């Protein structure tokens, strides 16, 4: 079995990369783990992921990274598993509201890989034993800063976290029919621009502790 570990930047999974090097890229159960650093954003993620999938043909994929949070139910320094993804800035802002491709009738809401406009992960129940919150997420190209846009993303998509790659990862995984998991550590509240108020180091440490814990599971992804 081969697992592809996906991150936007090497910094986000540096402790896991070190752990993998020490273990010759294999878990205790002998599963090979190949890391792919995609770069930031949906375009690079899609390209790098498709290229790596064609070369490596993974049995399962894990995307790990930091994220912004819209909700104090998932404050900085906590982890979440993304249950579903929405495209938070693909559309048009008109008359004070944001219309996405579905509102504009440019994409059908229930045509695969979309389910009722979202990109759902059907494999998350497998990870219930970790006790992590399963959250809705949005993926954006432009980091959200305005209070008005924050409100729109919360109301329209019930978004709890925001990243710049999650939807691309869900889209490719669903299209390629590869079981997947998106694990996020919250580093900041969305809209917080002062990096002094981000828990970057803490969230990366937490993310990697959990990641290594997951990779050590003897039956990882085995029931899927």
Catalog residues that contact ligand LNDFFVEH under the rule CB under 6 A.
8-9, 40, 65-68, 143, 162-165, 187-188, 190
Query: Residue of minimal CB distance from ligand LNDFFVEH?
Result: 68
24 CB-near residues (< 8 Å, 6+ apart) = none
Phi-psi region of 60 (alpha: psi -120 to 50; beta: other; left: phi over 0): beta
Minimum separation from the CB atom of position 189 to ligand LNDFFVEH (A): 8
Give DSSP secondary structure letters for 103-164: TTTSS-TTSTT-BTTBEE-TTGGGGGGG-PPEEEEEE-SS----HHHHHHHHHHH--SEEES
- State which residue, 125 or 145, has the beta carbon closest to ligand LNDFFVEH: 145
> In whole angstroms, what is the distance from residue 82 CA to residue 69 CA?
12
- State which residue, 188 or 208, has the beta carbon closest to ligand LNDFFVEH: 188
Minimum separation from the CB atom of position 75 to ligand LNDFFVEH (A): 13
Residue with tokens 């937490």: 206
Residue with tokens 């790990």: 64
Minimum separation from the CB atom of position 28 to ligand LNDFFVEH (A): 29
- State which residue, 76 or 179, has the beta carbon closest to ligand LNDFFVEH: 76
Contact 91, 104 (CB under 8 A): yes
- State which residue, 12 or 100, has the beta carbon closest to ligand LNDFFVEH: 12
> In whole angstroms, what is the distance from residue 223 CA to residue 3 CA?
14
Minimum separation from the CB atom of position 104 to ligand LNDFFVEH (A): 23
Minimum separation from the CB atom of position 113 to ligand LNDFFVEH (A): 20
- State which residue, 40 or 130, has the beta carbon closest to ligand LNDFFVEH: 40
Minimum separation from the CB atom of position 163 to ligand LNDFFVEH (A): 4
- State which residue, 129 or 195, has the beta carbon closest to ligand LNDFFVEH: 195
Give the residue from 24, 22, 3, 49 showing the smallest Cα distance to 165. Answer: 49
């Amino acid at each position: 079995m081969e697992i592809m570990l996906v991150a936007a930047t090497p910094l986000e999974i540096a402790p896991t990369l070190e752990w993998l090097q020490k273990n010759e890229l294999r878990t205790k159960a002998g599963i090979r783990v190949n890391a792919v650093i995609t770069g930031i954003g949906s375009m690079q993620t899609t390209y790098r992921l498709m290229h790596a999938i064609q070369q490596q043909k993974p049995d399962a994929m894990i995307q790990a990274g930091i994220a912004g949070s819209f909700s104090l139910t998932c404050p900085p320094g906590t982890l979440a598993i993304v249950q579903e993804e929405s495209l938070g800035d693909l559309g048009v802002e008109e008359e004070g509201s944001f219309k996405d491709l579905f509102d504009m009738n440019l994409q059908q809401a229930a045509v695969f890989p979309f389910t009722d406009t979202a990109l759902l992960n059907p494999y998350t129940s497998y990870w219930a034993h970790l006790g992590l919150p399963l959250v809705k997420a949005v993926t954006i190209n432009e980091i959200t800063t305005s209070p008005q846009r924050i409100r729109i993303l919360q109301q329209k998509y019930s978004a709890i976290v925001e990243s710049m790659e999650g939807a691309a990862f869900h889209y490719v995984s669903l299209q390629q029919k590869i079981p997947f998991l998106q694990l996020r550590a919250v580093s900041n509240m969305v809209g917080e621009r002062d990096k002094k108020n981000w828990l970057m180091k803490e969230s990366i440490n937490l993310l990697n502790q959990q990641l290594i814990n997951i990779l050590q599971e003897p039956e990882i992804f085995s029931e899927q």
